[in-house]
Structure formats: C-alpha cells, structure tokens
C-alpha cells in the first residue's frame, strides 16, 4: 500500500510517500509544494491545487493521510492554512484517493507511542522506522512523512485488519 502523507499549508505543503507492507515501511519520496508569496492568495490556491493534482498523478497513492489543523496563536495564518487544506482535500477527492485525517496527537501516538511526544522525538522515530540516514528536511516534509507513517501503522494494525474483515 502506498500512502501519501500531507502536512497542509498554502505557502509550503509537505508531502511524504511511503510504502507499507505487513509491518515494514519504505520511504519512496518526499518534498514540499510551495507557492510564490508575491502572488495574490487565490492564485496561490490555484497553483497549490494544480501541483497537488500533478503530485497525486505522478505518485498514484492508494491512500492519503492529511493532518488535521491545530489552531495555535496566529488565527490569520490558521485561516490561510485552512483554505490550503481545503484545496488539498479537493484535489485528493477529485483524484479518487481515499482520505484519512489525523490530529497531531494521533500522529505522535502512532509513531512514537506517546501522544504528547516532542516534535524531535517524532522526527527521530520516523527516521529510525524508515531506516533514513538523517531526518528529512524541511520540517514540513518530515511532518508529512510522519503523517503517512501514522496511517500505515494504524491501517496495518491487527485491530484495523480485523475490523476491515468484519471480525469483532
């Protein structure tokens, strides 16, 4: 199963593509999609949508894992990121890719085993689980890889498999 993890934004959107097979995970690709800050916001959203459709077409994921937004202190930035996230969800839906959403706490729990883990712990565990020489950069891409890993680990668990097969 190929999982495309996405850390949403409108200026910078991180992505990470992993392959999961029976509890083993392999990093296939990662990076960021960016939009020029000098462009008007609607144009940036259009570029994000187009680039996401291109990425989805090139990577052909079986599923997507998108981080749910955490509203921090800067509401203005949060609103822009929300718009970007909406465009990303639209692109995934248009491409027919199943969408799964995870909170930051769920990602931490799935990757580290502790829902209040620090960011550096998540990055280091992601690096270890995927046998990477170093933590992915930039942080948006590293976060997206962790989100993909969260879905892969959640989706391949025994409980998940039993539920998908109708076993109670």
Query: Are 88 and 4 in contact, with CB atoms under 8 Å apart?
Result: no
Query: What letter does residue 97 receive in the DSSP assignment?
Result: -
- pTM for the full model? 0.89
140 is annotated as an active-site residue: yes
- Residue ranges of domains in the chain, CATH in brackets: 2-164 (3.30.420.10)
Query: Are 50 and 11 in contact, with CB atoms under 8 Å apart?
Result: no
- pLDDT above 90: residue 161: no
pLDDT on residue 156:
57
Mean confidence (pLDDT) of the chain: 90
Residue 89 CA, chain-centre distance (Å), reads: 11
7 is annotated as an active-site residue: yes
End-to-end CA distance of the chain: 24
Instruction: Please state the rounded mean pLDDT for residues 23-45.
Output: 96
- pLDDT above 90: residue 31: yes
Instruction: Please state the rounded mean pLDDT for residues 98-107.
Output: 96
Q: Which residue among 7, 38, 139, 143 is the active-site one?
A: 7
Q: Which residue among 67, 118, 124, 134 is the active-site one?
A: 67
Residue 159: band (very low, low, confident or very high) from pLDDT cuts 50, 70, 90: very low
Q: Which residue among 19, 139, 140, 143 is the active-site one?
A: 140
């Amino acid at each position: 199963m190929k999982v495309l993890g996405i850390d949403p934004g409108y200026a910078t959107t991180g992505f990470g593509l992993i392959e999961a097979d029976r509890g083993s995970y392999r990093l296939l690709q990662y990076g960021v999609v960016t939009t020029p800050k000098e462009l008007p916001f609607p144009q940036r959203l259009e570029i994000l949508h187009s680039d996401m459709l291109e990425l989805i077409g090139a990577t052909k994921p079986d599923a997507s894992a998108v981080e749910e937004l955490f509203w921090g202190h800067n509401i203005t930035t949060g609103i822009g990121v929300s718009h970007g996230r909406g465009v990303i969800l639209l692109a995934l839906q248009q491409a027919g890719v199943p969408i799964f959403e995870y909170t930051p706490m769920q990602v931490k729990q799935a990757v580290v085993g502790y829902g209040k883990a620090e960011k550096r712990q998540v990055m280091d565990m992601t690096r270890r689980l995927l046998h990477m020489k170093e933590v992915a950069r930039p942080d948006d891409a590293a976060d997206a890889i962790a989100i993909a890993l969260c879905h892969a680990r959640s989706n391949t668990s025994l409980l998940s498999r039993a539920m998908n097969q109708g076993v109670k």
